[in-house]
Amino acid sequence: MTEHDDAHAPTELLPGARDESGPGDDAEDSPREGVPVAELRGVHKSYRLDDVEVPVIRGVDMLIRPGNFTVLLGPSGSGKTTLLNMLGCIDRPDAGEVWVHGTDVGALDDDALSDFRGKHIGFIFQNFNLLPVLSAYENIEYPLVLSGASPKTRADRVPKLLDAVGLTDKAKHRPGQLSGGQRQRVAIARALVMKPKLVIADEPTANLDSKTGEAILALMRHMQRRHRISFVFSSHDPAVFRSADDAIFLKDGAIVSRRRQGVEVQGA
C-alpha cells in the first residue's frame, strides 16, 4: 500500500457519483443562498504567555458563505488556527460574537456547545486524529454513536460514506493498517457522517505528499459539492488556494484581504 494508491481513489471508487452540478443526497437540506453558515463579528482573542498578554485575533469580521470552499491563508502566527477553533466552537473569543448555523454559540454552555459541535460541525485534522482502537468503519460510525443514532441509521449511512471515499475494502482495518491518505479519507468520511453544514479542516494535507494531498483535496471538493457543505480550511498549500471559492488572507491577527472566486472583495 502506498500513498500513490490514494491518487486513484477518489474518482474510481465513487460508484454512482452524481454530476457535480446536480443535487446531492442532501438536496432537501441545501443551504439558503445569502444566509451565512457561520459569522464572526468583531472577535478578539489573546493568549497569556507567562506574564505577557499576546493578542492573536484583533477585531475580525468574517462571513462563511454556504456551500463554499473557504481557505484561510497567512504566515505562521497570523491567527488562522485560532479563527478555525472559534468557527469550530472549540474555543471562545475574548470579545465579539460567533454565529454558526444561525446560533449565537457564545450563549451556549459547555455541554450545549459539545452537542452543537457534534450535530453541526465536522472536523478534519492535520494528523487525521483517528481513534486507533477502532476500525475505519467504527471511526466513521463513532459520531453517530455519540449522537445516539439508531443501528439502522448507522448501518445505512456509514457504508455509503466508506464507499464514497473509496475504502469499502478497508472497513475493518485499523488506522495503523492504513496509509496517510487512507486515514485522511476515513477522517473526511467521519467529518461528514453527521451531515454537518460546516466542516473545519486545519491544514488537512500538511502531512501528505503532494500527489496524495491533491487527491484528498479533490475528494473534499467533490464531497463538498455533492453534499452542499461549507468547508473552511487553513493551509499553506497553493493547490488549496487554487481550489477555493473564497480566500481570506490574515496577518498579525487581522484580515488583510479577501478574494471571492479569484476576485478581491471588500467587507466580510
Partner 1 sequence: MLMLALRNLMRNRRRSLATLAALAIGAASILMFGGYSTNIRYSMETAYVRTGGHLQIQHRDFNLYGSGDPTAYGIRDAERIVDAIRRDEVLGPKLVVATPTLQFGGIAGNYGAGVSKTVVGFGLQASENARMREWNHYDIPLVSPPFALLNSRPDSAIVGVGVARVLQLCATLKIANCPQPEKDVPAAGGAAMPDDILALTQREQNAPRGKGGSRAAAVAAPPPSPRRIELLASSTRGTPNVAALEVVEAEGQGFKELDEVFVAVHLAQAQRLVFGRAPPKATAIMLQLQRPDQMAGAAERLRAKLPEWSGQQPLAVLDLEELNPFFLQTIQLFNTIFGFIFVLIGSLVLFSVSNTMNTAVVERTVEIGTLRAMGLRKHGIRQLFMIEGFLLGAAGAVGGALVALLASALINSLGLEWLPPGSAEALPLVLRIWGENGMIVGTTLGLIVVATVSAWWPAHRAAKLNVVDALRHA
Q: What is the C-alpha separation between 20 and 69, in angstroms, rounded? A: 14
Q: What is the C-alpha separation between 184 and 53, in angstroms, rounded? A: 36
Q: Is 131 in the site for partner 1 (CB under 8 A)?
A: yes
Give the range of 9-17, 26-34, 143-151, 246-254 binding partner 1 by CB under 8 A.
Answer: 143-151
Work out which of 41, 119, 173, 259 binds partner 1, going by CB under 8 A: 119
Cβ-contact 183, 175 below 8 angstroms: yes
- Among residue numbers 158 through 197, which ones bind partner 1 (CB under 8 A)? 190
Q: In this complex, which beta carbon is closest to partner 1, that of residue 147 or of residue 241?
A: 147
Residues that bind partner 1 (rule: CB under 8 A) add up to a total of 25
Q: Is 118 in the site for partner 1 (CB under 8 A)?
A: yes
Cβ-contact 28, 49 below 8 angstroms: no
Cβ-contact 143, 194 below 8 angstroms: yes
- 3 state SS of 162: helix
Cell 500527489 appears where?
Answer: 211
CA 29 to chain centre: 18
Q: In this complex, which beta carbon is closest to partner 1, that of residue 47 or of residue 257?
A: 47
Alpha-carbon distances of 50 from 53, 94, 255, rounded to whole Å:
8, 18, 27
Give the range of 55-63, 107-115, 151-159, 220-228 binding partner 1 by CB under 8 A.
Answer: 107-115
Work out which of 68, 70, 78, 85 binds partner 1, going by CB under 8 A: 85
Q: What is the C-alpha separation between 210 and 190, in angstroms, rounded? A: 23
Q: In this complex, which beta carbon is closest to partner 1, that of residue 13 or of residue 250?
A: 250
Q: Is 91 in the site for partner 1 (CB under 8 A)?
A: yes
Query: Closest approach of Cβ 133 to partner 1, in Å?
Result: 4
Q: Is 88 in the site for partner 1 (CB under 8 A)?
A: yes
Q: Is 103 in the site for partner 1 (CB under 8 A)?
A: no
Q: In this complex, which beta carbon is closest to partner 1, that of residue 5 or of residue 91?
A: 91
- 3 state SS of 220: helix
Q: Is 117 in the site for partner 1 (CB under 8 A)?
A: yes
Work out which of 17, 44, 55, 127 binds partner 1, going by CB under 8 A: 127
Give the range of 24-32, 140-148, 155-163, 242-250 binding partner 1 by CB under 8 A.
Answer: 140-148
Q: What are the beta bridge partners of residue 250?
A: 255
For the record, the C-alpha cell of 100 comes out as: 454558526
Residue type, 111: D
Cβ-contact 235, 200 below 8 angstroms: no
DSSP string, 74-93: -STTSSHHHHHHHHTTSS--
Work out which of 114, 168, 179, 207 binds partner 1, going by CB under 8 A: 114
Residue ranges in contact with partner 1 by CB under 8 A:
85, 88, 90-91, 110-111, 114-119, 123, 125, 127, 129, 131-134, 142-143, 146-147, 190
